[in-house]
A = this chain, B = another copy of it.
């Protein structure tokens, strides 16, 4: 595929041309093309596995850790899972053409606000090769051309997947250039991609703080950071302790390595004497390292023994691991203030039985998702009924929380008259 070896600007120019055609392709054609991709993934599994073997070998030679190697690995089952994910996107409604709003103006003009594709979406991602297909399927379904830029450690796998997706999409009736991959994994390619104004309409980085910082420096195209989350659970004075324990354990442990996992537990002082020993015990029993403020340490020591002190740094840290910081606060307002200071605006939860506390928390916490008596782990496009997501936004413009098909679109106003002129 020429698209894989062309320079970044050429790739983006071709993507832009493809996007213009793609914006007008109907849902049936897009779905048929996605089905072609799903079929091709199965039929050409051997080609994918051969490419992946090269990445795995290079990874072993470069002494990548077991976790990274596992993220890199593809097998028949994982390829089948990638194809299933494509078919799930086929089953979703098409956001393009949805009328978001509409009315007749006093002068008789009819105005409709209609969802349309953004154009060219660039997705920058790290190790997992499955993102190549997930992101491509979401972008194609929402009528966008996609330019992918994965990590160099997965280059052979990503090239094979992008090639198969591109060929199958074109065979299925989508325009040439609708899926392409920037081959180089270096910072130069990233900077080039992030400055293709007039060609790239949006760049979505999926990765850690390093990637975010690198983009912030150079990007001139619009960026939505699918960023990390420093999430809190606040246990109010009135909380049911059993509910609180269940939610804290779920938010921390159900999958500790993801952005909607809890990193800090805040406990109201009036319930702390009972709840802190209980939850510390439960966390330690479950293998979670607990770091407490002074009050928490005292309460824990009385019941269970010394726990580590939480420092200023802990409050701002996204552990993405089996570690939880714990702090006792004197009011829901103090909890809100702590979250306002250290939170990343991702997902925040209160456990309470009092409506006043619930309402104060909902109004006062400035985050994408604010939970009352539920785990932070629900922040997810699939869980929210969007079907799939390309990441979670912690910014305020355009989209907060899960970035699904609708969020990959913009809108335009269609205005119809009978020769209307402005007086």
Looking at A351, A371, A413, the one whose CB has the most chain B CB atoms below 10 A away is: A413
- Do the beta carbons of B416 and A111 come within 8 Å of each other? no
Question: A375 contacts which chain B residues (CB < 8 A)?
Answer: 420-422
Question: Which of A58-66, A309-317, A360-368 faces chain B?
Answer: A360-368
Tell me the nearest residue of chain B to A409, going by C-beta: B396
* A118 within 8 Å of B (CB atoms): yes
Q: A186 at the A/B interface (Cβ < 8 Å)? A: no
Main secondary structure of the interface of A (DSSP, over half): mixed
Q: Is the CB of B419 within 8 A of A240?
A: yes
Tell me, rounded to whole Å, the shortest Cβ–Cβ distance linking A334 to chain B: 14
Shortest C-beta distance, A60 to chain B (Å), equals: 34
A116 at the binding interface (Cβ < 8 Å): yes
Residues of B near A413 (CB, < 8 A) are 368-370, 379, 384, 400-401
CB-CB < 8 A to A20: which residues of B?
340, 364, 366
Q: Which of A372-388 contact B (CB under 8 A)?
A: 372-375, 377-379, 383-385
Q: Which residues of B contact A374 (CB under 8 A)?
A: 109, 415-417, 419-421
Inter-chain contact A378/B422, CB cutoff 8 Å? yes
Asked if residues A415 and B371 are in contact (CB atoms below 8 Å), the reply is yes
Complex contact B111–A384 (CB within 8 A): yes
Query: Knowing A220-B216, A340-B20, A397-B202 touch, does A377 contact B421 (C-beta < 8 A)?
Result: yes
- Cα(A397)–Cα(B240), bound, Å: 42
**Known contacts A246-B421, A374-B419, A397-B397, A414 near B362 by CB under 8 Å:** yes
Q: Does A103 contact B (CB under 8 A)?
A: yes
B377 touching A416, Cβ below 8 Å: no
B422 touches A250 (CB 8 A): yes
Assess the A414–B370 pair: CB atoms within 8 A.
Answer: yes
Residues from chain B with a CB closer than 8 A to the CB of A410 are 396-397, 400
A84 at interface, CB cutoff 8 A: no
* Chain B residues whose C-beta falls within 8 Å of the C-beta of A368 in the assembled complex: 412-413
Closest 3 CB pairs of A and B: A374-B417, A250-B421, A243-B419
Given A362-B414, A372-B415, list of 16 further CB < 8 A pairs? Answer: A24-B363, A105-B378, A119-B396, A224-B397, A240-B419, A251-B421, A254-B422, A366-B412, A368-B413, A370-B412, A370-B413, A370-B415, A371-B416, A372-B416, A378-B415, A401-B413
